[in-house]
């Protein structure tokens, strides 16, 4: 069973955070005392589409690896997909438990996790009123025990309160959507996901994006993971890998 800091204390500390990024940082610092892990990724999502937005907090994972991870999620993985967990009775699952102790059944494990020394992954969808407001991935390295059912339940009990707090940050702020940039920003990616062109409007919009993992750096432009992820989702839909829309909404650094 998890030890250390309790569920109510974690929820209380999350509730005092003044931004989603601060909340993720607080939870990341404290959660290890109850559910130890070696690396993690915390992501906010668009509750309408379930696609990743901002912020994204990666712990002990290189920025470029996040894009590779998400490519497996969209194109080859079949086990514990976030879109499936978002609709599941219990939106938390571990790879070891779901594969009956045979993680090699997972394409993500074979191609991404095992080469990086990962033994098990615990995934959670943070949802409230049936909508996903965030995703969590916790990783344990080889040599550690797999995540237990008690640890899974502990994360499950945190899910709705954290999702409710994430939803509160997304509420409309008077005046935040007025003025600012107009026009359509266009980024063109090739079939391999590399950026090949961008118009001036896109460059200006990207300057308003919050800090976070960058998945593509080309033409002197830093492309946030959530932008690249949207492009990958569009390609996955075109190739009939599931999903029905490639659209996200998020708040810029200017509050729009």
Integer distance in angstroms from the first to the last C-alpha of the chain?
A: 43
- Give the pLDDT confidence of 83-141 residue by residue, as tens digits: 999 999 999 999 999 999 999 999 999 999 999 999 999 999 999 999 999 999 999 99
DSSP labels, 64-113: HHHHHHHHHHHHT--SS-HHHHTTSSS-EEEHHHHTTT-GGG-HHIIIII
Same domain assignment for residues 139 and 18: yes
Same domain assignment for residues 21 and 144: yes
- Give the pLDDT confidence of 178-202 residue by residue, as tens digits: 556 778 999 999 888 888 999 999 9
Same domain assignment for residues 110 and 224: no
- CA separation for the pair 132, 97 (Å, rounded): 23
Residue at token pair 């200017």: 254
Predicted local distance difference test score (pLDDT) of residue 179: 56
Same domain assignment for residues 50 and 159: yes
Same domain assignment for residues 149 and 225: no
Residue at 180 is within a domain: no
**What is the tally of structural domains in the chain?**
2
Question: Is the peptide bond prior to 55 cis by the omega test (within 30 degrees of 0)?
Answer: yes
Count of alpha carbons within 13 angstroms of residue 106, beta-carbon side: 26
Residue scoring higher pLDDT (133 or 241): 133
Domain that holds residue 143: 7-169
């Amino acid at each position: 069973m998890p030890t250390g800091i309790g569920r109510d204390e974690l929820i209380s500390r999350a509730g005092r955070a003044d931004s989603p990024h601060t909340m993720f940082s607080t939870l990341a610092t404290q959660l290890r005392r109850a559910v130890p892990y070696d690396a993690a990724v915390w992501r906010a999502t668009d509750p309408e589409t379930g696609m990743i937005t901002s912020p994204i907090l990666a712990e002990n994972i290189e920025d470029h690896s996040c894009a590779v991870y998400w490519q497996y999620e969209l194109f080859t993985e079949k086990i514990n997909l976030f879109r499936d967990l978002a609709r599941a009775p219990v939106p938390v699952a571990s790879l070891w438990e779901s594969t009956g102790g045979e993680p090699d059944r997972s394409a993500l494990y074979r191609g991404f996790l095992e080469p990086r020394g990962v033994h098990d992954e615990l995934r959670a969808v943070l949802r409230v009123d049936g909508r996903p407001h965030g995703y969590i991935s916790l990783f344990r390295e080889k040599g550690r025990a797999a995540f237990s059912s008690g640890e899974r339940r502990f994360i499950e009990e945190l899910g709705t309160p954290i999702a409710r707090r994430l939803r509160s940050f997304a509420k409309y702020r008077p005046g935040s959507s007025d003025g600012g940039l107009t026009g359509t920003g266009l980024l063109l990616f090739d079939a391999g996901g590399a950026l090949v062109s961008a118009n001036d409007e896109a460059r200006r919009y990207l300057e308003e994006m919050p800090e976070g993992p960058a998945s593509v750096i080309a033409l002197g432009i830093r492309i946030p993971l959530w932008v690249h992820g949207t492009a990958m989702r569009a390609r996955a839909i075109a190739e009939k890998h599931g999903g029905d829309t490639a659209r996200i909404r998020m708040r810029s650094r200017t509050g729009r």
